[in-house]
């Protein structure tokens, strides 16, 4: 057998990988011809159309029930849309018109649908353009019923297969689970096609948009679907197959394990529990945070509120969005980071005129901006304070670089409280206030800062950039951005130790917190709270549950002795196999 | 004849599943109901027509109803559009 590893690039429509045998779902080929009918046949021809539509309606109804049962109401609406297409007067009237002009019904349906689908091709928006396939799917069913062909199903499948087809209807995709299909590949469709959405819901790996694939494969041949990278590999070598089979096994085990973890605590083998929180930008993300087992919002980026608008958000708007999140997250903590925008961004948004800066990254940003424009800051603080009665909110100031900034910010906070008392609006007086440690100067004086606040949260993205003087978006120096650097490790240790000495909790909301590669290091350093993008939570939790605090501390002790990044790697590897 | 301007506010726009309740609601009325976007005029009772409008989030549309129950039709359709079809 030839082994060539022919790699074809398509669109990654649903994540996961699979190795399997091709089940080629051949296109229904309808042999219908254009013929003219005599006026006395018109009525019977229209009746044939009505019958075919009725039969198709029954099929779609049963399909709808199936979708409802397997995937729920939202997916069943896809079938509702198809039912409406079926009885759409725009199509029906045109078909009947054509029949009355003496065309046979098959040709009439074909012509009307073909013309309409050409109109869809002219649409710029990809989503709406793709709806052409919904129309074609329905038309195909009607034509099949007109010609009296029996419906081809996937029930003939005997072993786990990879379906290869020109196009798959959502109905086809639903029957897949019952038949344990391992993956599918289609010629048509994009990431937003209904078929792709259903595949994602069922967690079946899928690659779509692979032109001509039905002509490149043969029934029963072994292929690989890589829904992560959007690849299909034909004639894979034994080595490639072995690699993908390993990845498949890992994928299955991981999925099962991570699902089991959702409701378990993030606790070490020796019983130390840490908080795993999610970073969010708006209230819509709270659902996903909870779904992945978040026990806090460790970072609510309030900047989202300032986007797509022409005026500054009002106190009331701040209040509305924070109280919503506070309620949804009860009984867990929600840390709201106050405005972290730079003046440049605010000017760009057209919210107000701010002088142009040579180096905005080190310019009038975050707390500096807030202290210069206290009214904007106060509106946000009042919004947070009022929302605090609806849950467990905490305030966090970003980009602090000296103690006096905290004191000035707190003065504005006190003023905000005073005003609320005068206005008779309730708030929680003992709301906790913390700061982000993301500027090296703040890290170095973290012992002083810790005395002024209720908690610290380390923003590693900026802390590393500022400490190393590396812009990680600049390709020429990005390799110098390394979280595992003796300087960073020492800084982190210093911050965490001084917070603990002052009896304060310390969290981390940079990307480092969500990277499983650093979980044990951070645990060993004594971090109390990890906040990350929601999908990372189960992965980090899994690691936390496999170690003891002592073992993590030992790792950190060994790392602290390292001189170079290469030595770090050696210590980390050694730990892994211990 | 009654007319009313509405705006698509849900993120995904007037997509296939969102068009379902519009067609169903419009079909309850005896009035002729049209949805107008720029130069395109489509029948609110036709899902194909609605999809061909390709109305994404932020698009402004005009609802036009002509018939006995035009007032109620406009009122209820406006409500549906303003609810974002029950989506975010």
> From CA A203, how far away is CA A252, in angstroms rounded?
11
The arithmetic mean of pLDDT across residues B6-35, rounded, is 91
* Under-50 pLDDT residues of chain A: 1, 151
The Cα-based distances of A194 to A75, A124, A544, B79 in angstroms read: 9, 19, 38, 27
What's the CATH superfamily of A39-146? PtsI, HPr-binding domain (1.10.274.10)
**The whole model's pTM is what?**
0.56
> Does the domain formed by A262-576 have CATH 3.20.20.60?
yes
Interface of B with A in 43-72 (CB under 8 A): 43, 45-49, 51-52, 54, 56
Q: Can you tell me the ipTM of this complex?
A: 0.88
- Domain spans of chain A, in order of start: 6-26+152-258, 39-146, 262-576
Q: What pLDDT is stored for residue A62 in this prediction?
A: 85
Q: Which is the catalytic residue, given B14, B15, B35, B81?
A: B15
Contact B54 A80 (CB under 8 A): no
Cα separation values, A430 from A325, A393, A417, Å:
19, 10, 11
CB-nearest to B16 from A90, A91, A131 is A131
Residue whose tokens read 């991570």: A258
Ordered strands of the B60-66 beta sheet: B2-7, B60-66, B32-37, B40-43
Cα–Cα distance, A333 to A278 (Å, whole number): 11
Q: Who among A81, A91, A124 is closest to B19 (CB)? A: A81
Select from 3.90.1150.10, 3.30.70.270, 3.50.30.10, 2.30.110.10 the CATH code of A6-26+152-258: 3.50.30.10
Radius of gyration in angstroms for the set of CA atoms belonging to chain B, rounded to a whole number? 11
- Domain boundaries along the sequence of chain B: 2-86
- DSSP per position, A55-94: HHHHHHHHHHHHHHHHH-HHHHHHHHHHHHHHT-HHHHHH
Q: Does domain B2-86 correspond to CATH entry 3.40.50.970?
A: no
Say which DSSP state A342 is in: B
Asked if B9 is an interface residue toward chain A (Cβ–Cβ < 8 A), one would say no
Q: How many Å lie between the alpha carbon of A351 and the closest alpha carbon of chain B?
A: 21
Contacts of B23 in chain A (CB under 8 A): 84
DSSP-assigned states of every residue in A14-47: E--EEEEEEEEEPPPPP-----B--GGGHHHHHH
Per-residue pLDDT, A161: 85
Give B9 to chain A, closest Cα distance, Å: 14
Instruction: Please report where in the chains the tokens 């080629």 appear, as a residue.
Output: A24
């Amino acid at each position: 057998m030839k082994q060539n590893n022919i790699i074809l690039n398509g669109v990654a429509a649903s994540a996961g990988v699979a190795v399997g045998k091709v089940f080629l779902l051949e296109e229904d080929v309808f042999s219908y011809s254009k013929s003219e009918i005599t006026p006395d046949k018109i009525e019977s021809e229209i009746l044939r159309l009505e019958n075919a539509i009725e039969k198709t309606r029954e099929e779609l109804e049963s399909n709808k029930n199936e979708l409802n049962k397997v995937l729920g109401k939202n997916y069943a609406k896809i079938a509702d849309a198809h039912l409406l297409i079926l009885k759409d007067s725009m199509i029906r009237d045109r078909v009947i018109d054509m029949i009355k002009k003496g065309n046979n019904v098959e040709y009439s349906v074909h012509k009307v649908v073909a013309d309409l689908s050409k109109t869809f091709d002219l649409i710029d928006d990809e989503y709406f353009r793709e709806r052409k396939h919904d129309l074609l799917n329905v038309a195909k069913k009607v034509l099949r019923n007109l010609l009296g062909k029996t419906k081809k199903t996937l029930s003939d499948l005997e072993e786990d297969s990879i379906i290869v087809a020109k196009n798959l209807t959502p109905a086809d995709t639903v029957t897949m689970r019952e038949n344990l299909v391992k993956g599918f590949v289609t010629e048509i469709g994009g990431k937003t096609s209904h078929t792709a959405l259903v595949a994602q819901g069922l967690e079946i790996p899928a690659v779509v948009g692979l032109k001509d694939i039905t002509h490149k494969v043969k029934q029963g041949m072994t292929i690989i679907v890589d829904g992560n990278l959007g690849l299909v590999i034909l004639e894979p070598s034994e080595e490639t197959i072995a690699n993908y089979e390993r990845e498949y096994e890992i994928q299955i085990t991981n999925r099962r394990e991570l699902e089991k973890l959702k409701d378990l605590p993030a606790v070490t083998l020796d019983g130390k529990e840490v908080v795993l929180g999610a970073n969010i930008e708006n209230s819509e993300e709270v659902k996903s945070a909870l779904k992945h087992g978040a026990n806090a919002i460790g970072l609510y980026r309030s900047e989202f509120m300032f986007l797509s608008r022409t005026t500054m958000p009002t106190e009331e708007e701040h209040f509305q969005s924070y109280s919503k999140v506070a309620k949804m997250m009860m009984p867990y903590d929600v840390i709201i980071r106050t405005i972290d925008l730079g003046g440049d961004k605010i000017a760009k948004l057209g919210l107000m005129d701010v002088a142009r800066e040579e180096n905005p990254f080190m310019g009038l940003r975050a707390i500096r901006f807030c202290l210069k424009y206290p009214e904007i800051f106060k509106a946000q603080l009042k919004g947070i304070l009022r929302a605090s009665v609806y849950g467990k909110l905490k305030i966090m100031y970003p980009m602090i670089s000296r103690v006096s900034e905290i004191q000035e910010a707190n003065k504005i906070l006190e003023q905000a409280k005073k005003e609320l008392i005068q206005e008779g609006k309730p708030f929680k007086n003992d709301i906790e206030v913390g700061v982000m440690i993301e500027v090296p100067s703040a890290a170095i004086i973290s012992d002083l800062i810790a005395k002024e606040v209720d908690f610290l949260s380390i923003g590693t993205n900026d802390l590393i950039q500022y400490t190393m003087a590396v812009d990680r978006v600049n390709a020429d120096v990005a390799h110098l951005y390394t979280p595992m650097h003796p300087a960073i490790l020492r800084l982190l240790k210093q911050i965490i130790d001084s917070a603990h000495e002052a009896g304060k909790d310390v969290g981390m909301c940079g990307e480092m917190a969500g990277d499983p590669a650093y979980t044990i290091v951070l645990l060993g350093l004594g971090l109390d709270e990890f906040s990350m993008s929601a999908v990372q939570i189960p992965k980090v939790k899994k690691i936390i549950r496999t170690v003891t605090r002592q073992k993590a501390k030992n790792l950190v002790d060994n790392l602290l002795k390292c001189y170079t990044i290469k030595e770090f790697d050696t210590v980390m590897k050694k730990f892994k196999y211990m | 004849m009654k007319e009313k301007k509405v705006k698509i506010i849900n993120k995904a726009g007037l997509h296939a599943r969102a068009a379902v309740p519009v067609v169903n609601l419009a079909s309850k009325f005896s009035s002729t109901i049209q949805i107008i976007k720029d130069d395109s005029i489509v029948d609110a009772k036709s899902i194909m027509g609605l999809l061909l409008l390709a109305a994404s989030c932020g698009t402004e549309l005009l609802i036009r109803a002509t018939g006995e129950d035009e007032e109620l039709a406009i009122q209820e359709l406006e409500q549906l559009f303003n609810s974002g079809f029950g989506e975010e």
